[in-house]
Structure 1
Amino acid sequence: MKFRDGMWLAAEGKRLEYAEEVYSLAEKEDGNGLSLFCPTRKIHNRSDSLNLSTLTIDIEAPFDGALSVETTHWLGALNLGPHFELFPAEKPEGKVNIQKAEKSTTISSGSIAATVKTADHDFDIKFHATDGSKELTSLLNRSVGFAYSPATSSPMQLADMRKLDHYIFTQTTLSVGESVHGLGERFGAFNKVGQAITLWNADGGTSSDQAYKNVPFWISSRGYGIFIDTPDKVELEVGSERCSRVQTSVLGQRLKWYIIYGPSPKEILQKYSILTGNPGKVPSWSFGLWLSTSFTTNYDESTVNSFLDGMKGRDIPVEVFHFDCFWMKAFHWCDFVFDSEMFPDPKAQIARLKSSGLVKKVCVWVNPYLGQASPVFKLAARKGYLLKRKNGDVFQWDLWQTGMGIIDFTNPEAAHGTWTDFGERIPSQDVQWFDSSLDPKKMHNYYAFIYNKIVYEALQDRFGKNEAVLFARSATAGTQRFPLQWGGDCESTPEAMAESIRGGLSLGLCGYSFWSVDIGGFEGYPPPWIYKRWVAFGLLCSHSRLHGSNSFRVPWTVDDDDTTDQGCSKILSKWTALKARLMPYIFSQAQQSVKLGIPLSLRAMCLEFPDDPTSWYLDRQFMFGDSLLVAPIFEESGKVEFYLPKGHWTNFFSGETKQGPAWFKETHEFDTLPFYVRENSILVLGKPGETKTVYDYSSDVEVRLYHTTPGTTTTLVDSTGDEIGVLEIGESGKLTDQSVLQGNWSVTSHPGE
């Protein structure tokens, strides 16, 4: 939301007041911070203190490397929940240091500090490295304030606030060349500078400024991140109102955010995960290929079997089969009852599927709504399991399912339990939650957290702590704890594939390790070339799923069963097999990603190469773990342009070596793309011909050494994620200890000796 009309005027209908000076400063009673008293006018004499508003700014040191900043106008305003679950593991002990000088006071929290100017009637708060090595950002003149809408002309109008909106805002400075990234799964430009962004979950597809996953966290290329501590609607002007500032505003009386100093983006994410939680672990089988029935297609047991038989006959192993919405009767979503006409004996059908060996796991689609036509609706309404209107009626509308109600997860008895679709269209007006202490507006975004948490924990209770897997569409801060997420409804176009990549990159920079996409696009009928380009990209995401809307995504339906080497079936078979061979590397990297709170894939290039300015603008390529670079192709011709940072890079397929930093152009058939291995990498692969994702990752493997130097290491894990050993390059250039390797293993060097 813009509050000004250019530099000089307030926006029409807005009245603005700013913190003009730090009149007084006091240490907090617990010794953990400062409280700043900031009038909205400079105080030169006693009479200046009358008939004016003030702002209180509290700066605290929650843990080393982070500071919290809370700005409040009226302290007596209620601060209703829900609130984010912060420090879900434990809150680490921090060390605060406060130093007062003649004209300023500095509070430090480990590596980060804030210096507050306390003289000359100025308002100036600078955030910087404690050792003085780097300035991060600042709150300067007219950067902290509040606004009334409509504009008031007399203080007497504030006697009745029911017809006034009260916003509070802060503006942190943007330095020359600084870029901003994250804020959830956003499909627009990767660098958010110049954009106005509203954090409000919505089902808008991947071609708009709306997002399914709004996360109030962003990373700056200057080495810091900011987490906005509210699930409420947040509006940001990222260099789009004041070109040199990021403005954050909320409707209310207080605004709190944390500033986290890395200085590297990996360190920022690691510290952010202290606040909101580390990603959950996912089982090794989940990295295999998932196949869906698609959305509005007709299918029954014979259709499902024909899909799986067809995939097996084309050497395309399927790990998980997904039953989409119409496993239930139309209008009955979501009552968890199979459509008896299409599936007369679902339990026996699923048992036959698994015993046949065609598929290892079965997944079903759910959403948090309940159609009125389902017999379960009356039961749920009677027991108070559905969200209500303020007059006591069940909240219903005809959006998605006729007369549908919304499960009220604030009622403990309503929580039940896997593809967790939807969860974005949660009303914020004329609603009354079972827990009446909650703010309906904050519940709109927060609903995604409790929805995914309840289903995830139900799966954990049933299958085990590290065996739960979601395919979630809605998210907010903290839902990285309940993996995994997928990109939502994209079109079957190269532009939509690029949108999806930008979305995955942005979400990864908010602490999400695992992400997927509908291969081939969800909407429309992908032509064969798009399907095949998307297959190559999709099998190099952390998780890989074939899913569509009104058409099947099995390869032979896309290209009339082209059986040539460049046909859809052979291409899908090759990329699926490649991912299976990569599993020793993938699953080891997955454990590290969870530990650090960083993305496995899609990992933005700036996470691995933060000192390369180009890496902060690369939105058509990504890293898969710390060693593999992927550049998807968006042209039918196979032409592609990509960037390699400094160092030696080896083509995974050909062994050709290139030297960065530089841009390169290549042309590829459908069975390759720019897939480069970083120097100083030890890449462990399953044996040639391996097609399973779950096997012994230390036996019969191929170990590839890429421009390695003494001290280079890689960690081997087993198929449950437990460490089984470390491979290290010694002074001789050879592996020092090979005892962890079993069976018929081999070692090859790139470049060859």
Structure 2
Amino acid sequence: MTDILEIIKNPDRVELILSRENGKKVYLRIASSKANVWRLQSADVKEEFDNLGAVQLLKEEFNEPSNENILPLDIKEKSDTSFQIESAVNSTSIQINLSPFHILFLDKTGKTKCTIDDISFDEASITISGSLKNNEFTYGLGERFNGANQRGKSAHIWSEDRWCQTEGNSYVPIPFVLSTEGYALFMNRYEYSFFDLGENTPDRWSITLKDAPLDLYVFIEDSPKEILRDYAELSGFSPMPPEWSFGIFVSRHGRLREFATIEGIREMARKMEENDLPWTTVIIEGWNTYDTSTYEDLKKIVDELHKKGKKVLVYERCGRLDKEYWETHKAKEDFFVKDSSGNTLIKEAPLYNPVDAPDRRLSCFLDLTNPETLDWWQNYVWKRLLVDIGLDGAKIDFGEEFPEDENLKLFSGRSIKGMHHYHAVKYGTMMYNLYQKMRPEGGICWARGGGIGAQRYPYLWCGDQLREFRFLKAILSAILSSGVSGIPFMCHDLAGYMPARDKERNIEEEVFIRGTELACFTVNMETHGTVTRPYDFSPEIIDIYRLYSKIHYALIPYLIEQARISSDTGIPLVRHLYLEFPEDEKVRGIEDEYMLGDGLLVAPVLEDSNKRDIYLPSGEWNDLWNEKIFKGPYEFSKYTAPLERIPIFIYSDTRSEVLDKVVENIRSILKS
């Protein structure tokens, strides 16, 4: 533990002067800018605190008000070795004990919710830590494929494409943890950090931050929903997606080249119509987005599909423009990140996809710190695509690849540290805003990769999974963990995008249907990859897929209603049961059920089985299939769920104004 040399008490902040092991001083500031939200910052030089953390940087970048005003504090002595910090607008408080050192975060009743009892520094990192209770669950850390509850685990906050993995990787890591004890921790930096939530020492949490000053927010609230709202107010609410984007997307892997021509796209549309399979949007992965020689054909197929009421997205790689297209797009070298030798072809971030590209590939990255780059990219390159051709947005891939090598130079002169995450977030936010500006019915990003603020795009997708049952669990885990990390709209490739490795244990028809059922009851549905296309299965499987496609479209009024709530509050559309029933200890460890909005409990079958156990929390629940009423808490042992059926229960206490009609329509579809 670092020694405390001095305490400075000011009307709106408290500063602790600490001594490092090397004898150098470090300054720790504690302040509050919103009721029940506390901010801890460090600096190596007195009064030189970096107030531009991740969320402040984003708001400055996009000319948004900060909504942060440092609140006046009331500092009370409790003893010679402790004092309490309160605020007139805060119902929470902080108690600082000097010997032994503790920072206690108290709720309005004076109960300790969170404790920090150790802060240590070395030349390149800061570690802050505290205690965990025996029955405490800690959710979040962004998109996680190994569970929404991260208690007993550790995680690197560093976006990576490890291709079809479920451990140790995340395309969208968020340094945010939500505890069942009524608090949340948020490290407000884009630089690399490491969270240990009881893996090394079961009753201890710790956060290590590298190459940046400490900037930790602590939220203390009565409910998890209030914490998520506080976090959204700080980091940005997710915009409401266009209504058409809640439908069904059709995509194929680019290497197949199926959507690289007008004929290939027309063939898909014809097959979908022949089989009476509804869809809204096509992602034409495989079409060379920046090859201007294709633009005449691109315009032709976009106009053709628009006349049929469809939408069209192209595929691109987070702004990478290959040099062969520079001349036709009037690109300049200064538009791109350079190394110390002036080269614009630079190595992508380490730990890229070890299957497809084990070595660091070379790419040209847009320099998003150069205003001229931003103007050219938006008002020349993409204006042609959005206005002249009429595209409705893009699938933006590989947001995890921006490097932080020390030899890289940015136009603005800012440090390269933190750009690995910030580049993807700034690019995605910029492009989403551009789509709204240039498309009359709104446009969307279908994006992979990012960090703090990624909810601003607002659609992210879960990346790459195999068509196996275990990856259905991983997909749901990613959706739930993202939701409790401030990302309300997480999409995915329905049932995975690559064939199973173990085909005997993962019969494709069965995984496909169980994946279809799961996707039906999420924000939207998207088929993608090199796997079997929906219309190429047997007639029986096509019939089930058609049924759930139509159910999904019947759900859309409810999805739109609930998505508006998500956009206004930060509460995810697909919700961990804990968010709706925080007092029910039984739901805390359940990660194979969820609430879709506040009115539907969904219990997907995620393994090779036609039965599953189901828990219904307190309240009245109506079975979608047989209309039976159950009083919760209620537990089913081996609820029967044949391949064509996903267990769904309607919650009587829903506040939805449209759900009754939606359920009526779904039941009509089921009977037809």
Same structural fold, with TM-score higher than 0.5 when normalized by the shorter chain: yes
Indicate the residue corresponding to 1:679 in structure 2: 652
Percent of matched pairs sharing the same residue: 24
Indicate the residue corresponding to 2:305 in structure 1: 353
Change over 3 Å in CA distance of 1:436–1:378 after alignment to 2? farther
What amino acid sits opposite 1:408 in the alignment?
Answer: D
Indicate the residue corresponding to 2:625 in structure 1: 653
Change over 3 Å in CA distance of 1:586–1:168 after alignment to 2? same
Provide structure 2 residue ranges, at least 5 long, that are not aligned to the other structure.
383-393, 501-506
What amino acid sits opposite 2:420 in the alignment?
Answer: H
Which residue of 19, 26, 33 corresponds with 2:2?
Answer: 19
Distance 2:160 2:109 in 1: 43
Which residue of 112, 115, 122 corresponds with 2:92?
Answer: 112
1:307 correspondence with 2:268: yes
What amino acid sits opposite 1:659 in the alignment?
Answer: K
| Cα displacement (A) at 1:396 | 2.6
Change over 3 Å in CA distance of 1:436–1:682 after alignment to 2? closer
| Cα displacement (A) at 1:369 | 4.9
1:37 correspondence with 2:17: yes
1:367 correspondence with 2:317: yes
1:393 correspondence with 2:343: yes
| Cα displacement (A) at 1:380 | 6.9
| Cα displacement (A) at 1:184 | 0.7
Change over 3 Å in CA distance of 1:551–1:414 after alignment to 2? farther
Contact 1:116 1:126 in 2 (8 A): yes
| Cα displacement (A) at 1:283 | 1.4
Indicate the residue corresponding to 2:290 in structure 1: 336
What amino acid sits opposite 1:27 in the alignment?
Answer: K
Contact 2:554 2:662 in 1 (8 A): no
Distance 1:476 1:512 in 2: 10
SS of corresponding position for 1:259: strand
What amino acid sits opposite 1:99 in the alignment?
Answer: K
Provide structure 1 residue ranges, at least 5 long, that are not aligned to the other structure.
1-17, 42-50, 148-164, 329-334, 687-700, 706-744, 749-753
Distance 2:493 2:370 in 1: 33
Root mean square deviation of aligned Cα: 2.8
- CA displacement, residues 687-717 of structure 1 (integer Å, 9 cap, x when unaligned): xxxxxxxxxxxxxx83769xxxxxxxxxxxx
Which residue of 511, 518, 542 corresponds with 1:530?
Answer: 511
Indicate the residue corresponding to 1:320 in structure 2: 281
- CA displacement, residues 412-468 of structure 1 (integer Å, 9 cap, x when unaligned): 22232421111211111144343343221211111111110121121121025x823
| Cα displacement (A) at 1:166 | 2.5
Contact 1:26 1:35 in 2 (8 A): yes
Change over 3 Å in CA distance of 1:196–1:702 after alignment to 2? closer
Distance 1:674 1:442 in 2: 43
Indicate the residue corresponding to 1:102 in structure 2: 79
| Cα displacement (A) at 1:517 | 0.7
The runs of 4+ residues in structure 1 deviating greater than 6 Å are 377-381, 398-402, 745-748
Distance 1:19 1:296 in 2: 55
| Cα displacement (A) at 1:496 | 0.8
Distance 1:144 1:452 in 2: 35
Contact 1:19 1:40 in 2 (8 A): yes
Indicate the residue corresponding to 2:116 in structure 1: 139
1:470 correspondence with 2:445: yes
Contact 1:291 1:547 in 2 (8 A): yes
Distance 1:238 1:113 in 2: 24
Alignment of 1:444-459 (within 5 A): 444-459=420-435
Count of paired positions: 623
Contact 2:558 2:662 in 1 (8 A): no
SS of corresponding position for 1:101: strand
Change over 3 Å in CA distance of 1:380–1:631 after alignment to 2? farther
Distance 2:551 2:658 in 1: 9
What amino acid sits opposite 2:463 in the alignment?
Answer: G
Which residue of 159, 162, 165 corresponds with 1:201?
Answer: 159
Indicate the residue corresponding to 1:167 in structure 2: 125
Distance 2:449 2:580 in 1: 27
Distance 2:168 2:461 in 1: 17
Comparing 178-187 with 89-98, greater Cα deviation is found at 89-98
Alignment of 1:66-85 (within 5 A): 66-73=37-44, 83-85=54-56
Task: Work out which of the two has the higher radius of gyration on C-alpha atoms and give 1 or 2.
Answer: 1
1:297 correspondence with 2:276: no
| Cα displacement (A) at 1:604 | 0.8
Comparing 635-644 with 405-414, greater Cα deviation is found at 635-644
Contact 2:619 2:653 in 1 (8 A): no
Contact 2:336 2:367 in 1 (8 A): yes
Distance 2:72 2:633 in 1: 40
What amino acid sits opposite 1:600 in the alignment?
Answer: L
Change over 3 Å in CA distance of 1:556–1:339 after alignment to 2? farther
What amino acid sits opposite 1:70 in the alignment?
Answer: Q
| Cα displacement (A) at 1:246 | 1.3
Indicate the residue corresponding to 1:556 in structure 2: 535
Comparing 434-443 with 391-400, greater Cα deviation is found at 391-400
- CA displacement, residues 369-416 of structure 1 (integer Å, 9 cap, x when unaligned): 546462327977744111111222223348879753112212222232
Contact 1:183 1:214 in 2 (8 A): yes
Contact 1:582 1:684 in 2 (8 A): no
Indicate the residue corresponding to 1:639 in structure 2: 611
SS of corresponding position for 1:681: coil
| Cα displacement (A) at 1:624 | 0.4
What amino acid sits opposite 1:420 in the alignment?
Answer: I
Distance 1:209 1:402 in 2: 22
Indicate the residue corresponding to 1:56 in structure 2: 27
| Cα displacement (A) at 1:217 | 1.0
Distance 2:431 2:177 in 1: 27
| Cα displacement (A) at 1:264 | 0.8
Indicate the residue corresponding to 1:509 in structure 2: 484
1:124 correspondence with 2:102: yes
| Cα displacement (A) at 1:671 | 2.9
Indicate the residue corresponding to 2:389 in structure 1: none
Indicate the residue corresponding to 1:154 in structure 2: none
SS of corresponding position for 1:446: helix
SS of corresponding position for 1:171: strand
Alignment of 1:413-424 (within 5 A): 413-415=372-374, 416=377, 417=382, 418-424=394-400
Indicate the residue corresponding to 1:518 in structure 2: 493
What amino acid sits opposite 1:495 in the alignment?
Answer: R
- CA displacement, residues 322-374 of structure 1 (integer Å, 9 cap, x when unaligned): 101x201xxxxxx622674xx8622112212222x2x5211111113546462
